Chain A
Amino acid sequence: MEENYTVQIENANIYQQDEKVLSEVNLKIKKGEFVYLIGRVGSGKSSLINTLYGEILLTEGEGTVCDFNLKKIKKREIPMLRRKIGVVFQDFQLLTDRTVYANLKFVLKATGWKNEDIDKRIAEVLENVGLIDKIKRMPHELSGGEQQRVVIARALLNHPELILADEPTGHLDPETSEGILNLLTEISKTGCSVLMATHNYTVLKKFPNRTIKCEEAKITDLSETVAAIDFDSLKED
């Protein structure tokens, strides 16, 4: 039963530089589940995500992500946790000084892949996101949507159990955003959980999934409280 969850947080208080941003957080994400995280800027979405991949250490409450206990995790184990998590962030994009191929190769090298498997795996993930023909390009030569897809490809390299996406459609136009969402939905169907923080309510409407809201230092599961989400009321936020 327990093994079916990628993320389990119980009664956690989350601090951002000594300031409590979220209290009594309870969150469970099943294997292959697609979850949205919504809320205003500064409501603690990013802090929650940062906690999940070990950038913010969990001090109060219990938490397990991909079988790593967040409370007991040691500093040198954090890279191992991150190998099981794919991150797709707005800010931290690709390594700007090298090609798409070298970007992906870096991750595989860093996570201990053998040379003979590397090229094959890179071709696989680029095929997945439909960018195999851009393999030799530099990041700045790609459009925003293409860059984001390469980032997703990078997140997929190590067969992650969880993908954390912080505003993955932030800079993108609606059509490109839709493409990204299709991609993430497909990924979640392969058994990989996806937690996506977003402001993009058009996306929420078009791709309905379980939605969690951060508000007044609490998180609430909207799908549990309301039968159908009233998107128009959300928009006014």
Chain B
Amino acid sequence: MKPKRDKSIIRRLVSSYITTVISISLVLFMLGLIGILALSSKRLSDYVKENISFSVFLKDDVKDADILRLQKNLDAAPYVKSTLFITKDMAADQLKKDLGEEFVEYLEYNPLPQAIEVKYYAEYANPDSIVIIERELKQFPQVSEVYYQKNLVSLINDNVNKISLIVLVFSILLLIVAIALINNTMRLSVYSKRFNIKTMQLVGATKSFIRWPFIKASVFQGIFAAVIAIALLSAVISVAERELDNIISLNDFSLIGVLFGIVILLGVLITALSSYFAVSRYLRLKSSELYF
């Protein structure tokens, strides 16, 4: 009978330990997710901004050599990410596809101008810069008109700012929730040992001597939980890389390293401080107050 009972007690202790570790690791995992979101939100907004295309329409009588020169000039400009020359035929093909109608035959000529499609770097894709760039482009003699969706540009910029603010507020809230949850978990496990803490004081142990094993154990739990959280985060990152190739590309290893470092640091710091304060609380209490 006896060995069997011992095993069940050990199993119960182990399972409560694991429950603590898992609850901490889930909280850390949530924090890490928000971190990834914050890291990739810049990339995401850049991706969207750099995919707004600006059509630089060219006059019909411009020679191919001039067009090529203009394209080279544009490529050399600091604000241009990529350019694509679109001939009249290509424009017609595209429009034909969009409309599903043989409009060239119908009209008997191709009214579409030749154009260069320009994509800007994210830093320049905001309403203010675009106006300046537009003015600059119009000074080229080959250019007849610059076309882009003005609303789209300001809409994207407004929304990106709003989303970053929301992400920031959300991360702060989540951090507070994480601290509260971990703190509660640690306090519960210290509470279950409050009589032992008092007994230790009665036999002449100093406060720091009593505190140290609790802090050591909780730091181990914190590290253990952080490792689990990092494993989960790595899985999320690798799935995201595969599924959302261009949008969330997290191949920046130093950045991810910093994120994982923060997860471990938070895990250790929050658990250690929580158990420090929890133990100190029971060290201060009189023995008659322990029963509450």
Contact = CB atoms under 8 A, between A and B. Distances in A.
A177 B195 CA distance: 25
Given A55-B286, A55-B287, A110 B202 contact: no
Q: Is the interface of A mostly helix, strand, loop or mixed?
A: mixed
Interface string B168-195: 0000000000000000000000000101
A110 B200 contact: yes
Given A55-B286, A55-B287, A91-B287, A110 B199 contact: no
B206 interface: yes
A225 interface: no
Interface in A57-113: 76, 79-83, 85, 87, 89, 91-97, 106-107, 109-111
Contacts of B200: 95, 106, 110
B196 A110 contact: no
Contact of A158 (B196, B201, B204, B286): B204
Q: Is the interface of B mostly helix, strand, loop or mixed?
A: helix
A96 B196 contact: yes
B199 A79 contact: no
Interface residues of B, number: 17
Contacts of B201: 79, 82
Contacts of B65: none
Given A92-B198, A95-B199, A95-B200, A110 B286 contact: no
B191 to A, nearest CB: 14
Contacts of B195: 91-92, 96
A80 B199 contact: no
B205 interface: yes
B193 A82 contact: no
Interface in B138-196: 193, 195-196
B17 interface: no
B287 A94 contact: no
B206 A94 contact: no
Contacts of A111: 204-205
B205 A79 contact: yes
Interface in B198-243: 198-207, 209-210
A97 B196 contact: yes
A111 B205 CA distance: 7
Nearest to A76: B206
A107 B201 CA distance: 10
A53 interface: yes
Contacts of B203: 82, 87, 106-107, 110, 154
Given A55-B286, A91-B287, A92-B287, A82 B198 contact: no
Contacts of B205: 79, 106-107, 110-111
A53 B286 CA distance: 13
A206 B148 CA distance: 107
Nearest to B209: A110
Contacts of A95: 196, 199-200
Given A95-B200, A96-B196, A110 B287 contact: no
Which 8 A-B residue pairs are closest in the complex by CB-CB distance?
A110-B205, A82-B204, A83-B204, A92-B199, A79-B206, A107-B203, A79-B204, A95-B196
Given A87-B202, A92-B195, 4 more contacts: A82-B203, A89-B202, A92-B199, A110-B203
Interface of B: 193, 195-196, 198-207, 209-210, 286-287
